[in-house]
Structure 1
Amino acid sequence: MTTQTGHTQAIAASRVIGTTVYNTAGDSIGSIEDVMLDKTSNGIMFAVIGFGGFLGMGEKYHAIPWASLDYDQDKGGYVVPFSKEQLKAAPAYSIDELTGEDGERARDASYEYYNVKPYWH
């Protein structure tokens, strides 16, 4: 089964974690810190992208719908179709908030904010 952006090949989550993420302008915006899975629907809820911070202090975490990430072989990382301004204004969470309420609050807010069709509908 393919994702909304056409991903068709399997990849281990351990290989995805730490991969750089770029915005539409080609700027590095952070890296994938984790991948949240929906245990009941077998879907990927979202990628957890770390933005900013220094030595783990002040870092913000964003839930980005997995279907929004496209792997760019030339960059060796993922590209999201969002501007720097969109990403800066996006909902941000602590790691605990991302998993609270089974991740649904962060998931729902993310899909709504980025206007991505929910995989669970």
Structure 2
Amino acid sequence: MTEPKAPLSTDETYDLIASDKVEGTAVYNQEGEKLGSIHNLMVDKRSGQVEYAVLQFGGMLGVGSDYYPLPWEALTYDVDQKGYVVALDKDAIKNAPHYADDEPRFDRDYGQQVYGAYGMTYPAA
């Protein structure tokens, strides 16, 4: 008789993480200052690649927050901080493309604006 196996963790492996574990994760600048947290991820329907992590920034307890799409490649996970790090300060983020209640059209033009704000080239379609 074999012993029952421990349940397999399906929300995180060495290289993969479930989206619900990413949502709510803190985002810091390089000086360690908390900028906000990941609100959600925008995933390309055809390729399955994460295009944006949407940073919830500002407001109080989620009220009055704005949402800033960050190119996924602009984020680096920091194990010590248990959060993502982006090479920007609050002023740079405030001036980047963002939205409040009226979600933008995530089209190629908007993607070029977002990636351009972070000094990156929007991936070819």
TM-score range, shorter chain: 0.7 to 0.9
Cα RMSD over matched residues? 1.9
Whether the 8 Å CA contact 1:13–1:35 is kept in 2: the answer is yes
Cα offset, 1:108, TM superposition: 2.5
Show the counterpart of 1:14.
20
Partner SS, residue 97 of structure 1: coil
Larger Rg over CA atoms: 2
Show the counterpart of 1:85.
91
**Change over 3 Å in CA distance of 1:74–1:87 after alignment to 2:** same
Query: 1:112 is aligned with what amino acid?
Result: G
32-41 vs 107-116, greater mean Cα deviation: 107-116
Show the counterpart of 1:109.
113
> Percent identity among equivalent residues?
40
**Change over 3 Å in CA distance of 1:49–1:106 after alignment to 2:** farther
Query: 2:117 is aligned with what amino acid?
Result: Y
Aligned-partner Cα distance in 2 for 1:95–1:106: 17
Partner SS, residue 108 of structure 1: helix
Whether the 8 Å CA contact 1:43–1:119 is kept in 2: the answer is no
Structure 2: gaps (5+ residues): 1-13
Structure 1: gaps (5+ residues): 1-7
Aligned-partner Cα distance in 1 for 2:48–2:116: 20
Aligned-partner Cα distance in 2 for 1:92–1:78: 19
Cα offset, 1:14, TM superposition: 1.0
TM-score (norm 1): 0.81
**Any runs of at least 4 consecutive aligned residues in structure 1 with deviations exceeding 6 A, and if so which?**
none
TM-score (norm 2): 0.78
Partner SS, residue 30 of structure 2: coil
Structure ranking higher in helix proportion: 1
Equivalent in 24, 27, 32 of residue 30 of structure 2: 24
